[in-house]
Amino acid sequence: MGTIKDLYLTNDNSSRKGSGNSDYKETYRPQFHYSPEKNWMNDPNGLVFYEGEYHLFYQHTPHDTHPDFGRMHWGHAVSKDLVHWDELPPAIPPGEDGAIFSGSAVVDKNNTSGFFDEQGSGLVAIYTNDGNKAQPGKSQVQSIAYSKDKGRTWTKYEGNPVLFPAETLDFRDPKVFWYDESSMWIMVLAVRDRVEFYTSPNLKEWSFASEFGSDISGIHRGVFECPDVFRISVDEDSSITKWILMLSVGDRNGVNPNDPEPPAGGSGMMYFIGNFDGKVFTLDETLDSFDTTKWVDYGSDFYAAVSWNGIPNEDGRKIWIGWMNNWRYATTLPSKEWRGKTSIPRELQLRTYPEGLRLIQAPINELSQLRKPILSLQDLTIKPGMNVLSDISAAKAEIIAEFEINTAVEFGFKVRKSSNQETIVGYNVSNGELFVDRTKSSTIDFHSDFTAKHKAPMKPEYGRIQLSIYVDWSSVEVFGNSGKTIISDLIFPDLESRDLELYAIGGEVRVVSLQINDLVSIWGNETV
């Protein structure tokens, strides 16, 4: 096996940069995840595909590395392939109407709004104005804006706000989609301890339809945020569908502090499987009894994920992206020029298992264009003390492995390793747990809760464990058993910490297959 000292390779001419002069080589800067060139970002917003472009909007403070909630903008980036991104100027700025909080965007292809008489269709953004003064005591309201030039410029609707809260101060993060059966727009909105559904024929006039979640015990640790609702095929059979309701849960905001918090603490995401008739979401108790909360991710750093609207039917995928951060320590991250990034985009599926229907997340196929193969192994037995990867150095990589459980009590990978740093991605056989241990991963003194080992229950399938691991300059995303179990965590190792180890403890484990690839920088960086 030849020595591979460095895996930083030059990208091809399709690589793109942001709007300014950053070289995207700053300490901890992600090399195949989107991050803004400068300053703060949080929730992805307004994800929509239109005329060949994927739009990524996001909560953005363009003037500071900390969130300035009173002057929050919609940041903006576009992509042809969901991998390489062009950062554009902020799309929707705050004004006298208040800050621009989270929301969604849709393609109004039938011009139901009346904004697009000349061209017939365009983009409409639906968002929360925070600090609105239209009605005293009702700070959070819903407003809309429209674009006639593929999202490059936006006009706020002169009739804003289009929806006021009845009573609560938490009334935000609208996700809007078109429902064919009733020829209506549907809005799902986070309202403190529940979500509320509204309907509209034109995106301007909204009627209350129903609410969900206030009476379900055990799910109200924090305020609900960033809901999403969509229809999805079961076992990739288009004739059988279910609806999934996604909810993000804030960090212990006092709705019910006795309810269980997300698996890794702080903020997190849960999902519900059921049915939706255009007005009411009904939990599916027959196929999927609600015995325990279904968590989307068992790591600390996957939050506020929402799905893309407008993906063509011929594509057929449901794709989403999340914010890689946690409100418990989000404002203290050690990156200096920028603070906040997205996960890799993920395809969502719903599959049947003995225990019921479960959400599956898989890295999108488009990431394969970044691959530069490094190593491929098959049918290899790993014993304690061995490291067949001792000659490989990787600060970013894709690791795809399948193991057959033998006598080992624990096995896995140590990534971003040096004499005093390592992140462990492992499987505990006796406990049946996938885990990420970042207690020695990196710079960890910026917050007391960052040092942690995150665990997720995961049973072997036919005596085997499958792992797909995505390591970047400041994160690791682990997809266990073909995406059934996910752990997403930030890490902040030294750039020099790039050794790699495949280990076994207490016995042997058989490597059925192992593929390690470099993922070329999406920013076109030369060797660092």
Catalytic center residues: 43
Contact of 481 with 366, CB cutoff 8 Å: no
> Sheet holding 184-191: strands in order across?
172-179, 184-191, 194-200, 207-212
Single-letter amino acid code for the residue at 62:
P
- What's the one-letter identity of residue 227? P
For residues 488 and 359, the answer to whether their CB atoms sit within 8 Å is no
| 485-490 and 475-480 beta bridge pairing | antiparallel
The DSSP result for 105-119, as a single string, is: EEE-TT-TTSS-TTT
Whether 260 and 249 have beta carbons less than 8 Å apart is answered as no
> From CA 244, how far away is CA 229, in angstroms rounded?
6
- Hey, is 79 helix, strand or coil? strand
Eight-state DSSP code of residue 186: E
342, 323 contact by CB (below 8 A): yes
> How far apart are alpha carbons 489 and 325 in whole angstroms?
8
Pairing of strands 338-339, 39-50: parallel
Q: Which residue has the tokens 């799910």?
A: 219
Burial class (CB in 10 A: 0-12, 13-18, 19+), 527: exposed
